[in-house]
Amino acid sequence: MNWNAWMPPLMIASSLLPGLIIFGLTEERVRLRTVLNLSGALVKLVLVGFVLWGVSQGQQYETRLALLPGLELVLRAGPLSLLFVSLSAVLWLVTTVYAIGYLEHSPHRSRFFGFFSLCVTATVGVALSGNLITFLLFYELLTLATYPLVVHRGTEAARHAGLIYLRYTITGGALLLVATVWLYTLTGTLEFTPQGFLDSLGAEHHTALIIIFTLLIAGFGVKAALVPLHGWLPQAMVAPAPVSALLHAVAVVKAGAFGIVRVVYDVFGVEFAANLGVLAPLAWLAAITIIYGSLRALFQDDLKRRLAFSTISQVSYIVLGTAIAGPVAAIGGVVHLVHQGLMKITLFFCAGNLAETLGIHKISEMNGVGRRMPWTMAAFTIGAFGMIGAPPVAGFVTKWYLGLGALQAGQEWVIIVLAGSSLLNAAYFLPILHRAWFQEPPSTWPKEFDFGRKETAWMLLLPPVITALMALAAGLLATSTFSPLEWAQFIAEHEFSRP
Amino acid sequence: MSTPFLYALVGTGLFALGLFALIIHAHLLRKILALNVMGSGVFMVLVALAKRTGDAPLDAVPHAMVITGIVVAVSATALALTLMLKLNAKSGHAELPDDRRE
Amino acid sequence: MGAVFTEFPWGVILILLPVTGGMLCFLWPQIAKITGLFIVFAVALLVVGLAWQIFDNGVYRHAVGGWGAPLGVDLYADGLSLLMLAITALVGIGISVYSATYFKHEQAVLFWPLWLFLLAALNALFLSADIFNIYVTFELMGLAAVALVALAGSREALGAAMRYLLAALLGSLAYLLGVALLYHGFGTVDIALLAERAEPSPIIWAALGLMGAGLLLKTALFPLHFWLPPAHASAPTPVSALLSALVVKASFYILLRLWLEIFGPLVGGAGVEQLLGLLGAAAILWGSVQALRQTRLKLLIAYSTVAQVGYLFLAFPLVAATGVSAWSAVTYLVLSHALAKAAMFMAAGNLLCFGGHDRIADLDRVVQRLPLTAGAFALAGVSIMGLPPSGGFIGKWLLLEAALMQGRWDLVVVMILGGLLAAGYIFKVLGYAFTQADVSHESKAVPASMEWAALLLAVAAILLGFLAVPVLSLVSIGDPFGIGEVRP
């Protein structure tokens, strides 16, 4: 085993080990816990940076471990993996800072941060998986690690939400398992390969492959919250705000979307999938989800619920970009993995800040809040404009490439979906901004906490400001080297070039 | 019909009879006795079948087995009787509580 | 030095040591705990020695007292026996550590001799080379197990023990009648000789019927499971763990051996394996649904055992074409269930000791108050549900693979449904472990060794998920499944 083979396990260990140690800490060891959390996150970031540089220099990072006779656990840092790993590493650091601030006085923090680290471990594992069984393993681990976070508050409502979350995700996991084993019995391999590994299968297997594709998409679609499998996401809003941020931007929803990307690109291969005729229905499903999520978001008064439905809509951009089956649209889909993460996490951080500082949970309570919390609302505004797709925020780049890619692939209807969705996004975000900036604040807030001269605790304020700036930068500096867009183009070339 | 075969048949009959009694009787003592009858039936089959085909000399192995079997049966019966007495002392009757929750 | 290891009669000592220890514990109760713990650890070392020997020399065979078959008693160990011995030793250590603090005073005096006798019976059973010897060890195991159930002394426990005893005796008598028939038919009780001599005949069918029924009754395969839930639920916790983890597996082991060596080759394809598969499927669904309906934790776990036993039988109809992965799946399911179920019962025992009750809805925030135990339950649950990474997952994967290769969609559906139902009942418990009960109860401290014993066994069930390659090559020593050895 050379040094490069150590990198993927190290990337996983950098959050796994702190997590396991944190489980063993008593509640009072605040400082040690914080140090562990932050150093784990920083080490991971450094490792990711190192590997990114290495991959751009043509290095290979791969680890293999025999799991069953003939089947291996494979961790590989390919370009697509690294995009997701970088996103989760960066956002983990920010979210950790936020969570430390957010949970400052609440109980059971050791448990919380333990599972939090486990969650990130699973996400990084999902990202680095080099074959479907490894993916499945980490994907299920993610389900298990997020459950305690969803029910963290220990109320009856939380227990109920956890139950619903499990009903969806465990069933999805079971479908994945069947599909994976089935695929294995057909092909004898599960290794992710650019342009897929199913070419050799004859036409007599095509029906089976269509069913397998459906099962896989259903399994991943649960976490990616594709309609009609989205029911758990709004329910899971009872969890603390950092968990929502994690679910929506970094881990769970993203893992589902990433799974779909993997299946289309590296299991079936775009061309093969298109020839099977399974991509067009997937594109339609994504389009329906985009519109449906936006429509539902329009009618929510609860801020977090509105954001949840917005997530349902936004994540399907990734799926849509994948399903259009053209290189340009693929760039749009893949880059949205990052862009949506940055923007949505900003919005959830801000929503958490409003709740923690002023006790605001509903949009109808947000009158004039921009004057009381200008920094928070500035970040929120950037995120919201990004979601709408207004330049120069990152969301614009996504929509531009998606639209361009759809035209190139001759699927003009997608433009209508994009335009309609943008209008709806504007319709549910602009009124919030209007309220926050241009309405008179009420004389008292629902439940105000005092933070002296500052608008809120710095640990709560810094993360959304940083992520908002990153979302802005991803849009403004889209053409610079190492921007998400450049990286996504690199990936798309990889996936669409015939060897 | 040879004599050993007859014995074996009777042994099987005892086994069936014991099984029948085990099922229909509620009282534990009867159940334990029924099991003993079944055991005797099995031992009889073993002994009878020791006489194998033709004029071959008697096979000693089944006899050894029966002796072992009897030892096992005695200890099992002892345990069963003790349990029954204990149960009787606790619940006041020597029958199994009908498990209606099942 | 090598010769000492390879010539040493490990197998004999494996049986003699716990028997002697049991008697010592019985005669000198004041040293029972120390003796018991010592013996259990020593047995584990002996298993390591035996493993070494088997690695060097291949299959182990020992004629006790130099007599040899047919009059003498032969000991025999191949990869499958070795694995069963190993899991018994491993789970045994966990249970012994747990019991050392669990049992107090007079109960401890009774527990240690019985447990060591049970251990001796289990070891002897896994080392037996002939079907009559199996009967004797089987009966010894049954009697020790019944006495252990009765140890709790409550009315429920005594009733359950009685029911268990009747079922056990009935099962072993049926088995013995089968032995008599086989001996009459083929003139030997040695399994290997029987495998050579046996040929299709009415005797084979009658013996299969009798022995099969007896063993299924003791393995508690649906619908012959009626005695299991009350016995496993009302016994003292370490005993529940022993019964679910090891004793049920022992009778399954006999069934497996007989099927592999004697009956399978003769009556294969005649529908017996389909029947077993069908019963297995019914057990999975029935056991899981019953488990989901329970309000008491220990009963829930007991019904879960009924369901998990079903998985073992699903392999029978799948063997025809793809022998290797279906039997590997069974091996893996047996091992991981032994570890996980023992851990789960121990966790339940901790909760019972902590809150004084095992009502699921009143678990009352045990996640915070008893985190190690809650963690043990959760990790064991992961393996029971068959989620990765765990031993249970590997077993389920192999079984699914076999089913899909043969297009047995009915069994695939059953397995998936079983997994979902298992998730249902396990997360039902875990959900309530987070919430606060309406009425808070007094709680008692749980000794750390009891919490750690449960947790470590559960962790072992998880780690088993990464050891498939060595374990599967180990079990293929001596080719117990008749498919050729896989040497690493």
The residue among A134 and C321 whose pLDDT is bigger is A134
Contact between chain A and chain C (3 or more Cβ pairs less than 8 Å apart):
yes
Neighbours of chain B (3+ CB pairs under 8 A): C
Give the model's pLDDT for residue A256.
Answer: 93
Mean pLDDT of A323-346: 88
pLDDT reported for residue C2: 54
SS3 state at A454: coil
Predicted confidence band at A216 (pLDDT cuts at 50, 70, 90)? very high
Query: What gap in Å lies between CA A76 and CA A252, rounded to an integer?
Result: 20
Least CB–CB distance from C427: residue in A111, A166, A184: A166
Mark yes or no for CB contact A173/C387 under 8 Å.
Answer: yes
Query: Which chain C residues are Cβ-neighbours of B35 within 8 angstroms?
Result: 166, 169-170, 173
Instruction: Let me know if residue B96 belongs to a domain.
Output: no
Task: Per-residue pLDDT tens, chain B, 102 aa: give them.
Answer: 577 788 888 999 999 999 999 988 888 899 999 999 999 999 998 888 777 665 667 777 888 889 989 999 999 999 999 999 998 888 877 777 764 333
pLDDT, mean of residues A137-146: 92
Alpha-carbon gap, residue C441 to C437, rounded angstroms? 9
**Domain limits for position B76:** 3-91
Residue-wise pLDDT tens digits, A441-470? 888 888 877 777 777 788 888 999 999 999
Q: Which of A170, A182, A184 sits opposite C423 (nearest CB)?
A: A170
How open is the CA angle C130-C476-C384, to the nearest 5 degrees? 95
Structure tokens at C125: 């059973």
User: Which tens digits make up the pLDDT trace of A403-419?
Assistant: 999 998 888 899 999 99
Interface with B, mutate which of C177, C210, C211 (most B CBs under 10 A): C177
Question: Which amino acid, C222?
Answer: F
Residue B72 lies in a domain: yes
Asked whether the beta carbons of residue C230 and residue B69 sit closer than 8 angstroms, the reply is no
Neighbours of C488 (CB within 10 A): 9
Say what the ipTM of the complex is: 0.92
Contact state of C139 with B61 under an 8 Å Cβ cutoff: no
Q: Provide the terminal-to-terminal Cα distance of chain A, rounded to the nearest Å.
A: 28
Those residues with Cβ within 8 angstroms of residue A13's Cβ, 6 or more apart along the chain or in another chain? none
- Per the CB < 8 Å rule, is C431 touching A174? no
Q: CB B86 to CB C150 under 8 A?
A: yes
Backbone angles phi, psi at A485, to 5 degrees: -65, -45
Tell me if B69 is assigned to some domain: yes
On chain A, the residues whose CB falls within 8 A of the CB of C416 are: 174, 177-178
B contact residues 32-91, partner C, Cβ 8 Å cutoff: 35, 38-39, 41-42, 45-46, 49, 52, 59-62, 64-65, 68-69, 72, 75-76, 79-80, 83-84, 86-87, 90-91
Nearest CA distance, C271 vs chain A (angstrom): 25
pLDDT band at C192 (very low <50, low <70, confident <90, very high): confident
Token look-up 């019962």 returns C345
Summarize pLDDT for C341-382 with one digit per residue, the tens: 999 999 999 998 888 888 888 887 888 888 899 999 999 999
* Residue C106 CB-density burial (10 A; 0-12 exposed, 13-18 middle, 19+ buried): exposed
Listed by start position, the domains of chain A span 1-270, 278-499
Report the CATH number at residue B38.
Answer: 1.10.287.3510
Contacts of A152 in chain C (CB under 8 A): 434
**CB atoms inside a 10 Å sphere around CB A154:** 17
- Which residue of chain C is at minimal alpha-carbon distance from B64? C71
Q: What is the pLDDT of residue A43?
A: 92
* pLDDT at position B101: 38
Q: Measured over all CA atoms, what is the biggest interatomic distance in chain C, rounded to whole angstroms?
A: 67
The per-residue pLDDT for range C261-297, each reduced to its tens digit, is 888 888 877 788 889 999 999 999 999 999 999 999 9
Chain A closest-CA separation from residue C67 CA (Å):
41
Q: Which two tokens stand for residue A157?
A: 């409502």
Name every chain A residue with its beta carbon within 8 A of the beta carbon of C421. none
Between C8 and C335, the more confident residue is C335
Report chain C's mean pLDDT, rounded to a whole number: 88
C431–chain A Cβ distance below 8 A for any pair? yes
The answer to whether the CB atoms of A158 and C468 lie below 8 A apart is no
pLDDT above 70 covers a percentage of chain C that reads 95
Instruction: Report yes or no on B67 lying in a domain.
Output: yes
pTM: 0.91
Asked if A144 lies within 8 A of C427 by C-beta distance, the reply is no
When CB atoms are compared, the residue of C419, C430, C469 closest to A66 is: C469
